């Protein structure tokens, strides 16, 4: 897709780009004075008719004749009037308008509006094609096979059971099967063995951990805020757990949407209101003061852009600055949507009301006690601090000493600077003070320590979840920057038939704008919601959406390869209660999903991208799957779910470049058994990604990510090959595989990592390898660890067939 873009540039600027750019320019530079609100000189420049009609000076434009067009004369400086009054257009902009007028001054939005856009139309009921073919197990197969036949292709053979279970497990759990699981599935004589497998996998809590991650990518989840200080979002993980639970409970998608967009306005249950954590887990710079206005604008922009792309599959970002060039989304629509979010203030959900009150009370009392405890400590310490400080100060230059002796108000600016600079350097540390204390004071210190620890002995995160609500029933007014002074009412996209949102009834605590938005999006009638959701699931299973641009169902997106299948899946999804698990079954029980990855020669020439699904598309493991698979096969994976993020120990060189001191920014979890938990529970700092995850294309968590890259780089190979992590896991696996001779060890390590026994020649190879490495490294255990490290790095381990 990316390449299509490049190729288009080797030709002349396409007409659509020309028209779009010209009209965007008019919107940006002209319409504040000649637009829907204000018409100076009676001129409007926001529709083609209006421009042709012109104003007091006559027609503004003659299509095909730029030199004779008033508009062009005005902007090029050729005529009596020079526009815009705020500053001349650049030569490139002037020539753009010239080309546009010369080409007939076509208005692109009209082209879009006139032709009904497929994804804005209601989902149509579709019947699967009636094909009499044994390959057709489910309606999905019928749609796919019909297209395959039309393209002169035929489906591949079915994959074997070993392949199927590994594929299904990575797709649903993000983990590889154990040898025992493979064996059991291979030997299961039941005719519905595969169906049982899928049901079992869907019922496991591992499912939510895998599919939760897909969702967290979309909603740009992170555990810190980003920027220089990168402070913790202390309770973000509650939202992460909420997402995992929602998938595990197979929460209907319409409900999931409503909880996240407006849980606070729609539902009583705290667990539903938790959804609004959606708004709070993105990057922010709330801690940068003096730029509150920029922060607010950026936050609202994030809400509009993320919400439209995640839930509607539409990009609205363009319309922030001008009417969308390709989709019928006006700048006014953009700000109508922004007005929905403008009243938002951050809040917190009390997961258990009484416990939450109790927690706050305790915290309140604790703080009060701490003030006095600290006071007592400081008084005891004071004389020693004074003495040590004086000793340190005495070693500094005379001028600096004088600065410290001078009263604060009397200090000269130089003295103030000296004082600020040296204050830290002369401050005695506690470890310098403590040895000096008298025995009696040491006793007192012990008592203080005990009281302090007792205050914190039960300390833990409170029963809170991050959330939002509105500042009140009236939102702050929203304006289009640089346009007129009239506030924009909250509302939905006009092209989707969205109107203004009425004010809330008297007595309402909030504006109910998000409720209106949520109910509009989550409606079975909405043309985009179900289509976008099922397409994301399709992409996760097949590597490519039926609409390849999963977050763009607009004019710049790619059209669906199988429009009827998309309609059918969307209809089925809503009809079956918006159930993701039902959707997985629908897809995974098909023959399409069960194909092998081997393409036919015809497929290679006719459909190298496999968009018609004549075989299954192999995929590389995602970043978290790589780490989790190593842990699981090494036997060290800690299956504990939920809770505050884990910070695993990393080598100093891996932590290179962290913006804050490691003692603050990488506080390694004290319980080492936590370090081998699944990657979804590992802290995701915005300023720092764990190298192993970063190199395997884990997104940064700053912008919504609808499709991960799957790159192949030498840094991936270096990390997986040489990192402490791999080595430690290899040693762990080796330690449990040392029973018996080299053949037995080889067998054990193959079965653990690849879930199969080595064949005869592999066994020979592995035995020789162990012998050689034992000689080189001095022990069988180290040699076995090398075998494990090697197998972790094989393509068989890293790819799913």
Binders of another protein among 251-310, rule CB under 8 A? 283, 285, 288, 290-291, 294, 298, 305, 309
Among 268, 407, 431, 709, binds another protein (CB under 8 A): 709
* All residues at 6 or more sequence positions from 584 whose CB lies less than 8 Å from its CB, including other chains: 172, 198, 202, 537, 541
Q: Is 719 in the site for another protein (CB under 8 A)?
A: yes
Residues from 576 through 615 that contact another protein (CB under 8 A)? 597-599, 604-605, 608-610
| Residue (292 or 391) nearer to another protein, CB | 292
User: Shortest gap between Cβ of 379 and another protein (angstroms)?
Assistant: 31
420 binds another protein (CB under 8 A): yes
CB 112 to another protein: min, Å: 15
Applying CB under 8 A, the span of 175-183, 267-275, 486-494, 550-558 interacting with another protein comes to: 550-558
Q: In the complex, what is the shortest distance from the CB of residue 169 to another protein, in angstroms, rounded to a whole number? A: 19
Q: Considering only 30-38, 582-590, 672-680, 761-769, which stretch makes contact with another protein by CB under 8 A?
A: 761-769
Q: Which stretch binds another protein (CB under 8 A): 389-397, 409-417, 487-495, 515-523?
A: 409-417
Give buried/exposed letters for 42-52 (b at 16+ CB in 10 A, else e). Answer: ebbbbebebbe
Site residues for another protein, window 319-378 (CB under 8 A)? 321
In the complex, the smallest distance separating the C-beta of residue 794 from another protein, rounded to whole angstroms, is 5
Contact call for residue 528 and another protein (CB under 8 A):
no
Six token digits for residue 298: 């950026």
* Beta carbons of 155 and 145 less than 8 angstroms apart: yes
Q: Whole-number minimum distance, CB 799 to another protein, in Å?
A: 7
Nearest CB to another protein, comparing residues 27 and 246: 27
**Cα-based distances in Å from 447 to 422, 456, 462, 687:** 33, 14, 27, 40
Looking at the Cβ atoms of 176 and 691, the one nearer to another protein is 691
Going by C-alpha positions, the residue among 716, 718, 721 that lies closest to residue 786 is: 721
Instruction: Establish if 744 lies at the interface with another protein (CB under 8 A).
Output: no
Contacts with another protein by CB under 8 A: the residue count is 110
**Other Cβ atoms within 10 Å of 605 Cβ, number:** 9
What distance in Å separates the CA atoms of residue 748 and residue 784, rounded to the nearest whole number? Answer: 10
Q: Least distance in Å: CB of 694 to another protein? A: 7
Dist CA 301 CA 338 (whole Å): 7
- Per CB under 8 A, the list member of 251, 584, 620, 644 interacting with another protein is 620
Q: Which is nearer to another protein, 3 or 371 (CB)?
A: 3
Number of H helices, E strands in the chain: 35, 4
Site for another protein in 207-246 (CB under 8 A): 226-228, 230
Smaller CB separation from another protein, 136 or 318: 318
Binding map of another protein across residues 52-91, x = CB under 8 A, - = no contact: --------------------------------------x-
The contact mask relative to another protein for 167-206 (x = CB under 8 A, - = no) is ----------------------------------------
For residues 206, 211, 212, 216, the Cα torsion angle rounded to the nearest 10 degrees is 150
Phi, psi of 469, deg, nearest 5: -150, -175
55: β partners: 58
Closest distance to another protein from the beta carbon of 414 (Å): 4
Among 176, 554, 645, 648, binds another protein (CB under 8 A): 554
Buried b (16+ CB within 10 A) or exposed e, 761-785: eebeebbebbeebbeeeeebbebbb
> Quick count: other Cβ atoms within 10 Å of Cβ 379?
9
Q: How many CA atoms lie within 13 A of 239 on its CB side?
A: 28
The residue behind tokens 């108000």 is 409
User: Least Å distance between CB 718 and another protein?
Assistant: 4
Q: Quick one: 86 or 90, whose CB is closer to another protein? A: 90
Residues from 87 through 106 that contact another protein (CB under 8 A): 90, 92
453 versus 776: smaller Cβ distance to another protein: 776
Rule CB under 8 A: say whether 572 interacts with another protein: no
Name the residue among 661, 625, 636, 720 with its Cα closest to residue 228.
661
One residue of 702, 735, 738, 744 binding another protein per CB under 8 A: 702
Q: In terms of CB distance, is 92 or 460 closer to another protein?
A: 92
Pick one of 717, 735, 744, 764: the residue that binds another protein (CB under 8 A). 717
CB closer to another protein out of 17 and 376: 17
Contact region for another protein (CB under 8 A) — 180-188, 450-458, 572-580, 702-710? 702-710
Nearer CB in complex with another protein: 98/727 = 727
Q: Does 714 bind another protein (CB under 8 A)?
A: yes
Q: Considering the rule CB under 8 A, would residue 117 count as an interface residue with another protein? A: no
Q: How far is the CB of 607 from another protein (least distance, A)?
A: 10
Structure letter (DSSP) for residue 208: H
**Minimum gap (Å) between residue 290 Cβ and another protein:** 6
Per CB under 8 A, 147 contacts another protein: no
Helical spans, DSSP H, in 486-614: 513-521, 529-542, 563-575, 580-588, 601-606
DSSP track, 423-467: HHHHPPPHHHHGGGS-HHHHHHHHHHHHHHHHHHTT----SEEEE
Look at strands 799-800 and 344-350 and give their pairing: unpaired
Q: How many CB atoms lie within 10 A of CB 191?
A: 8
Q: Both tokens of residue 646? A: 């884990």
- In the complex with another protein, the residue whose CB is nearer, 49 or 228, is 228
Backbone φ and ψ for 619, nearest 5 degrees, come out as: -135, 155
Decide: 469 and 510 in contact? Cβ < 8 Å.
yes
One of 367, 412, 471, 764 touching another protein (CB under 8 A): 412
45, 637, 695, 745: residue in contact with another protein (rule CB under 8 A): 695
In this chain, which of 366, 369, 416, 442 binds another protein, going by CB under 8 A? 416
CA–CA distance, 516 with 671 (Å, rounded to integer): 46
799 binds another protein (CB under 8 A): yes
Q: Is 7 in the site for another protein (CB under 8 A)?
A: yes
- Give dist(CA 749, CA 758) in Å, integer: 9
- The answer to whether the Cα torsion of 107, 112, 113, 114 is positive or negative is positive
CA neighbor of 307 nearest in space, from 580, 528, 476? 528
Stretch 649-688: interaction string toward another protein, x if CB under 8 A: ----xx-xxxxxx------------------------xxx
Beta-carbon count within 10 A of 577 CB: 12
Please give the Cα distance from 658 to 666 (Å, whole number).
9
Shorter beta-carbon distance to another protein: residue 321 or 641: 321
Residue 581's Cα: distance from chain center in Å?
22
* SS3 label, residue 468: strand
Q: Which is nearer to another protein, 258 or 325 (CB)?
A: 325
549 sits near another protein (criterion: CB under 8 A): yes
The CB-of-798 to another protein minimum distance in angstroms stands at 7
């Amino acid at each position: 897709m990316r390449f299509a873009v490049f190729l288009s540039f080797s030709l002349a600027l396409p007409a659509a780009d020309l028209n779009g750019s010209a009209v965007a320019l008019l919107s940006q530079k002209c319409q504040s004075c000649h637009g829907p609100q204000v018409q100076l000189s009676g001129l409007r420049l926001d529709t083609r008719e209006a421009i042709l009609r012109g104003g007091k000076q006559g027609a503004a434009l003659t299509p095909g004749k730029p030199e004779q067009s008033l508009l062009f004369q005005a902007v090029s400086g050729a005529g009596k009037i020079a526009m815009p009054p705020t500053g001349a257009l650049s030569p490139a902009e002037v020539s753009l308008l010239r080309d546009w007028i010369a080409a007939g001054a076509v208005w692109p939005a009209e082209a879009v509006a006139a032709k009904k856009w497929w994804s804005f139309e209601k989902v149509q009921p579709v019947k699967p094609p009636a094909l009499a073919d044994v390959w057709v197990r489910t309606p999905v197969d019928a749609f796919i096979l019909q297209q395959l036949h039309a393209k002169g292709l035929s489906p591949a053979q079915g994959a074997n059971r070993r392949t199927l279970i590994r594929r299904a497990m990575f797709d649903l759990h993000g983990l590889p099967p154990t040898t025992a699981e493979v064996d059991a599935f291979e030997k299961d004589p039941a005719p519905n063995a595969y169906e049982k497998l899928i049901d079992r996998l869907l019922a496991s809590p591992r499912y939510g951990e895998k599919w939760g991650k897909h969702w967290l990518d979309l909603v740009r989840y992170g555990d810190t805020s980003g920027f220089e200080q990168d402070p913790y979002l202390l309770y973000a993980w509650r939202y992460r757990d909420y997402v995992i639970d929602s998938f595990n409970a197979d929460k209907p998608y319409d409900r999931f949407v409503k909880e996240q967009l407006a849980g606070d306005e729609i539902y009583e249950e705290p667990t539903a209101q938790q959804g609004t954590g959606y708004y709070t887990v993105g990057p922010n710079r709330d801690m940068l003061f003096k730029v509150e206005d920029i922060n607010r604008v950026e936050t609202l922009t994030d809400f509009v852009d993320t919400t439209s792309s995640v839930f509607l599959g539409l990009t609205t970002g363009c319309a922030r600055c001008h009417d969308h060039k390709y989709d019928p989304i006006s700048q006014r629509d953009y700000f109508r949507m922004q007005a929905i979010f403008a009243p938002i203030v951050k809040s917190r959900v009390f997961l258990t009301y009484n416990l939450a009150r109790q927690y706050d009370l305790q915290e309140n009392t604790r703080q009060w006690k701490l003030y006095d405890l600290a006071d007592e400590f400081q008084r005891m310490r004071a004389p020693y601090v004074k003495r040590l400080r004086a000793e340190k100060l005495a070693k500094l230059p005379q001028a600096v000493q004088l600065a410290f002796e001078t009263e604060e108000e009397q200090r000269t600016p130089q003295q103030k600077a000296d004082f600020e600079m040296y204050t830290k350097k002369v401050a005695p540390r506690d470890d310098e003070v403590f040895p000096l204390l008298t025995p009696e004071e040491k006793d007192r210190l012990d008592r203080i320590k005990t009281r302090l620890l007792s205050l914190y002995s039960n300390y833990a995160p409170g029963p809170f979840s991050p959330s939002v609500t509105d500042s009140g029933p009236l939102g702050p007014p929203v304006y289009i920057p640089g346009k007129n002074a009239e506030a924009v009412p909250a509302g939905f996209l006009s092209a989707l038939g969205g109107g203004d949102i009425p004010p809330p009834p008297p007595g309402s605590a909030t504006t109910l704008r998000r409720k209106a938005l949520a109910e509009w999006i989550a409606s079975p009638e909405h043309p985009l919601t179900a289509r976008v959701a099922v397409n994301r699931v399709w992409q996760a299973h097949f590597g490519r959406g039926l609409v390849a641009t999963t977050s763009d169902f607009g004019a710049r997106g790619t059209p669906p390869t199988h429009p009827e299948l998309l309609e059918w899946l969307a209809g089925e999804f809503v009809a079956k209660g918006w159930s993701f698990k039902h959707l997985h079954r629908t897809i995974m029980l098909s023959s399409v999903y069960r194909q092998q990855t081997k393409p036919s020669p015809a497929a290679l020439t006719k459909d190298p991208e496999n968009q018609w699904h004549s075989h299954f598309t192999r995929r590389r493991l995602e970043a978290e799957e790589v780490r989790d698979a190593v842990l699981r096969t090494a036997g060290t994976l800690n299956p504990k779910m939920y809770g505050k993020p884990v910070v695993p120990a990393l080598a100093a060189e891996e932590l290179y470049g962290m913006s804050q001191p490691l003692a603050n920014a990488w506080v390694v979890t004290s319980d080492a058994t936590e370090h081998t938990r699944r990657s979804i529970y590992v802290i995701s700092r915005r300023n720092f990604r764990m190298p192993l995850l970063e190199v395997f294309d884990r997104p940064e968590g700053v912008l919504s990510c609808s499709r991960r890259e799957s790159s192949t780089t030498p840094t991936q190979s270096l990390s997986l090959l040489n990192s402490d992590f791999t080595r430690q896991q290899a040693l762990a696996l080796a330690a449990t595989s040392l029973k018996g001779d080299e053949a037995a060890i080889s067998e054990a390590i193959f079965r653990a990592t690849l879930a199969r026994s080595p064949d005869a020649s592999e066994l020979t190879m592995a035995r020789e390898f162990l012998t050689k490495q034992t000689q080189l490294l001095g022990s069988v255990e180290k040699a076995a660890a090398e075998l494990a490290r090697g197998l972790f790095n094989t393509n068989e381990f890293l790819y799913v067939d």
